[in-house]
Amino acid sequence: MSEQTPAPTPAADLPGPVRLRVAPSPTGDPHVGTAYMSLFNLAFARQQGGRFILRIEDTDRARFREDSEQQVFDTLRWLGLTWDEGPDVGGPCAPYRQSERLTTYRPYVERLLAEGHAYRCWCTPERLAEMRAEQQRLKQPTGYDRMCLGRTEEERRALPGFSEHPVVRMLVPDDVELGFEDLIRGHLTAPRPDDQVILKADGFPTYHLAVVVDDHEMGITHVVRGEEWISSTPKHVLLYRWLGLEPPAFAHMPLLRNENKSKISKRKNPEARLTWFEEEGYLPEALVNFLGLLAYPPAQDAEGNDVEVFSFADFVDRFDWREVNPVGPIFDLKKLDWLNGVHIRGLDLPDLTARLLPYLQRDGVLGADPSLGELARLEQVTALIQTRIAHLTEASDLVAPFYVADDAVEVAEDARAQLTDDAARVLDAAYAALEAVPDEHGGVLGSEATFRAPELEAALRAALVDGLGLKPRLAFGPVRTALSGRRVSPPLFESMEILGKASTLTRLATLRATL
């Protein structure tokens, strides 16, 4: 949907008693932190009957990536964390991309300059680097030394390190208020900021100016962001005050951390990429459940036990900012794997079958346009493996043997290695026993079909366990290998029922011929 540029809408006229936003930067694969922040923003917005806004902060043109914005849309929608206003759906505050709002910021900059709250700085990057190096050498606090403050362009041009393209800096007063209230952490105090750049040489605003202007013009009532922004909050409160604007409420979420307490990053952690979770076969509802647990206590049942499995609707119902844990949570993938398995087991069979299909097609188990017969078989196989997988990606290895030619089952090395000297005798006895079991195609006319799992188990136990005197593990191993080519497979007798009598016998004979 294309965005129009309406006249600014007074905040009081904007829809929603509360208005919250998430504002990712399109600089690569979306970070899992975008989903984490979206979850908490959206939960509060939905609980309060408010609005959730998606804004794209694309003023960092050096790191901008063309495909990143669409990835943000796709991954958040995959998770079900949908927005009421944004670049692709429009809304009363369009445009929702900062790069399309450049004319919005200029009047605010000019006002700050005119009222003495900001000044132009002509220092080159080289001059600033030398300044910081000298401050570090002298063990002084790093920050701009105000060389340009109070000077005209001509006066500054006569000094070293002059750039033709100035930036604009805010003039932070010595008595700047450093304390503010946080919905999660209570009263906070941040370090004194230096004279932050608010307009870059290329005409793009920095985060600090743009976030204040955009949040005001979009009527944002609650700013929910990572704790790394605590130190910037006094700058933002100062800008609100200078511009005569009402600041929003602030809530600074704890950062996601690795087991060694380091911040989770896309450079070092594949799971920091939001796209990774779908690639690895996680369910979106499991990831949402996991992200909620990272910074929020589980509910408790009547006996006082933790209820760690919940839906987004459950999370919304009991959400309270005072319950958010400010301590940086550990990103425990083992816990996520467990949750994913629980959610997989909770799916209806047709739903799980549909979710497995793209992974099976990706791995070449099924083609792009499977037949009705193939889909019907897939649902039968899915019923066998639903309790055996923790990731959707694990299905391909278990499902593949059901879609290969009976005389082309590939036997894995570890499966062949565990065949004993008795394997040929076992396969012969199994073949004879199963050949005698009738089915709907080969049985006595008019009789009930009996090539079913209970009858198959009874026949094989009689032939192999009772007849040959073998333990079940040794008795059924060669049969399992013949049917699936694997040491581990879906339940044996149910697999034979799905394959049918002809396929089962052909697979037994095929492996037997190689021994």
Which positions make up the binding site?
A: 266
Burial of 222 (0-12, 13-18, 19+ CB in 10 A): buried
Neighbours of 503 (CB within 10 A): 17
Q: Are 459 and 436 in contact (CB under 8 A)?
A: yes
Of 235, 266, 334, 471, the active-site residue reads 266
Secondary element (H or E) of residue 284: helix 284-295
CA angle 326, 332, 336 (to 5 degrees): 110
Bond from prior residue into 95 cis (ω within 30 degrees of 0): yes
Q: Which amino acid is at 26?
A: P
Q: What number of other Cβ atoms are within 10 A of residue 412's Cβ?
A: 15
Burial class for 256, CB neighbours closer than 10 Å (0-12, 13-18, 19+): buried
| Six-digit token string for 404 | 């290969």
Pairing of strands 179-182, 186-189: antiparallel
Dihedral class, residue 238 (left if φ above 0, else alpha if ψ from -120 to 50, else beta):
alpha
263 is catalytic: no
What is the C-alpha separation between 228 and 251, in angstroms, rounded? Answer: 12
Angle at the Cα of 217 (from 212 to 218), degrees rounded to 5? 100
Whole-angstrom distance, CA of residue 441 vs CA of residue 500: 10
Strands 306-307 and 19-22: unpaired
Is the distance from CB of 324 to CB of 40 less than 8 angstroms?
Answer: yes
Contacts of 307 (CB under 8 A, 6+ apart): 298, 299, 300, 301
**Beta-ladder partners of 187:** 181
CA distance 453 to 432: 17
- The pair of three-digit structure tokens given for residue 299, joined into one six-digit string: 């509910």
Q: The tokens of 276 are what?
A: 């990774």
DSSP, collapsed to helix, strand or coil, labels residue 360 as: helix
d(CA 31, CA 271): 9
Q: Are 341 and 280 in contact (CB under 8 A)?
A: no
Q: Which residues are annotated as a binding site for ATP?
A: 266
- How many secondary structure helices (H) and strands (E) does the chain include? 20, 11
SS3 313: helix
Which of the 8 DSSP states describes residue 184?
Answer: T
Rounded Cα distance, 272 and 29, in Å = 9
Cα 288 to chain centroid distance, Å, stands at 8
* Catalytic residue positions, numbered: 266
